[in-house]
């Protein structure tokens, strides 16, 4: 066995930790909701759950330490070894969900503080798409607020009331944060002619300038979700159910979808608020910059 490979016992340990976390998180969540709702929980049940969570945390910490030491012996520096150990311990979908929540929060803060768009450097052209979904997002937010208030008055059971209240408040937050991330993370046409397609904090696709074969303004109404590849091999990033720009490539571009599933496409359709300007900028190609790129 090579140094960089985990032992068989470590693999079993890792699976046990992951399944234990999966089993304990709902119980811990229900305990918090019960306490918040004033439900009386027997002390024996609380102690057993808290001890189980503590044992899993200790096991996960020990596993993280062993993985970190293994990666250090394989030649990685401290920071790279810590990242690799975290990736070994935490499943990829969970890491993606955690990253999405962090990006949503930072995007919301960027939006309320009125900072500039994320990832747009000197010479780049931001291509907004969020205005096309503002009305839809406002509708979703209004429905979430009405549902939250209505269920708060209609549900008489404390535990069910607490669960639905938490979920409804999170739903309101998600709608606002997702729209904020779409505002501060527009599509970007780089100064070198490259194209960066995004949908808020959920999707980020980078297309080099050399792979762009043709660009045209074209309005379509696809049914697939953002980042999904249809039967014709086309990736569509619709906003409010429509796309306005079609980009065909010389070869496929690989990317990662929202929950970590890899995908590839040779044609991309996306929505741009000013489709004509986006098409003209992509056809124009690389542009000279008068100042060095900013570090955003």
Write the DSSP symbol of residue 190. Answer: -
Which tokens hold the place of 58?
A: 């200790």
Residues 6+ away with beta carbon under 8 Å from 177: 104, 105, 107, 108
Whether 292 is in a domain gets the answer: no
Query: Domain range spanning residue 61?
Result: 8-90
CB-count exposure of residue 72 (10 Å: 0-12, 13-18, 19+)? middle
Whether 246 is in a domain gets the answer: yes
Whether 240 is in a domain gets the answer: yes
User: What pLDDT, on a 0 to 100 scale, did the predictor assign at position 2?
Assistant: 43
Which tokens hold the place of 122?
A: 């000197």
Low-confidence stretches of the chain (pLDDT < 50) are 1-5, 7-8, 290-296
Which tokens hold the place of 265?
A: 């496409």
What is residue 31's three-state secondary structure? helix
| pLDDT, tens digit (0-9, with 9 covering 90-100), for 84-117 | 777 776 666 666 777 777 888 888 899 999 888 9
Residues 6+ away with beta carbon under 8 Å from 233: 265, 266, 267
User: What pLDDT, on a 0 to 100 scale, did the predictor assign at position 231?
Assistant: 73
- The residue from 90, 114, 131 where one domain ends is 90
Q: How far apart are CA 138 and CA 150, in angstroms?
A: 18
Q: How far apart are CA 291 and CA 177, in angstroms?
A: 32
| Residue among 256, 245, 283, 211 nearest 129 (CA) | 245
Whether 164 is in a domain gets the answer: no
Strand partners, 237: 270
- The residue from 56, 90, 124 where one domain ends is 90
Whether 161 is in a domain gets the answer: no
Q: How far apart are CA 127 and CA 268, in angstroms?
A: 15
Write the DSSP symbol of residue 131. Answer: G
Following DSSP, what letter does each residue of 206-247 receive, concatenated?
EE-GGGEEEEEEEEE---SPTT-B-TTSEEEE-BTTBEEEEE
Following DSSP, what letter does each residue of 252-285 receive, concatenated?
EEEEE-TTS-EEEEEEEEE--TTHHHHHHHHHH-
Q: Tell me the torsion sign for CA atoms 4, 5, 10, 15.
A: positive
Whether 236 is in a domain gets the answer: yes
Whether 86 is in a domain gets the answer: yes
Domain count, the chain: 2
- The residue from 59, 90, 121 where one domain ends is 90
Whether 150 is in a domain gets the answer: no
Backbone angles phi, psi at 64, to 5 degrees: -65, -40
| Residue among 234, 236, 233, 232 nearest 222 (CA) | 236
Judge contact between 249 and 211, C-beta under 8 A.
yes
User: What pLDDT, on a 0 to 100 scale, did the predictor assign at position 1?
Assistant: 41
Q: How far apart are CA 162 and CA 37, in angstroms?
A: 6
């Amino acid at each position: 066995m090579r140094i960089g490979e985990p032992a068989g016992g470590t693999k079993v340990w890792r699976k046990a930790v992951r399944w234990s976390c999966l089993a304990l998180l709902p119980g811990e969540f229900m305990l918090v909701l019960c306490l918040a709702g004033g439900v009386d929980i027997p002390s024996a049940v609380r102690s057993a759950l808290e001890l189980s969570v503590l044992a899993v945390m200790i096991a996960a910490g020990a596993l993280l330490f062993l993985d970190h030491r293994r990666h250090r012996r394989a030649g990685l520096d401290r920071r790279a070894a810590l990242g690799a150990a975290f990736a070994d311990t935490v499943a990829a979908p969970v890491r993606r969900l955690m990253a999405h929540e962090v990006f949503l929060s930072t995007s919301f803060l960027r939006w309320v503080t009125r900072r500039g768009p994320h990832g747009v450097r000197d010479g780049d052209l931001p291509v907004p798409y969020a205005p096309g979904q503002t009305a839809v997002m406002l509708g979703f937010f209004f429905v979430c607020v009405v549902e939250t208030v209505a269920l708060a008055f209609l549900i008489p059971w404390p535990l069910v009331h607490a669960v639905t209240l938490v979920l409804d408040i999170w739903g309101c937050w998600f709608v606002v944060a997702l729209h904020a991330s779409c505002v501060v993370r527009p599509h970007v046409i780089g100064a070198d002619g490259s194209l960066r397609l995004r949908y808020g904090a959920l999707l980020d696709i980078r297309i080099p300038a050399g792979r762009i074969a043709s660009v045209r303004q074209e309005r379509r109404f696809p049914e697939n979700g953002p980042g999904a590849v249809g039967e014709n091999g086309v990736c569509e990033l619709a906003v409010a159910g429509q796309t306005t720009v079609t980009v065909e490539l010389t070869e496929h571009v690989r990317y990662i979808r929202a929950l970590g599933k890899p995908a590839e496409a040779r044609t991309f359709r996306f929505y741009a608020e000013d489709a004509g300007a986006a098409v003209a900028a992509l056809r124009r190609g690389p542009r000279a910059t008068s100042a060095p790129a900013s570090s955003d």
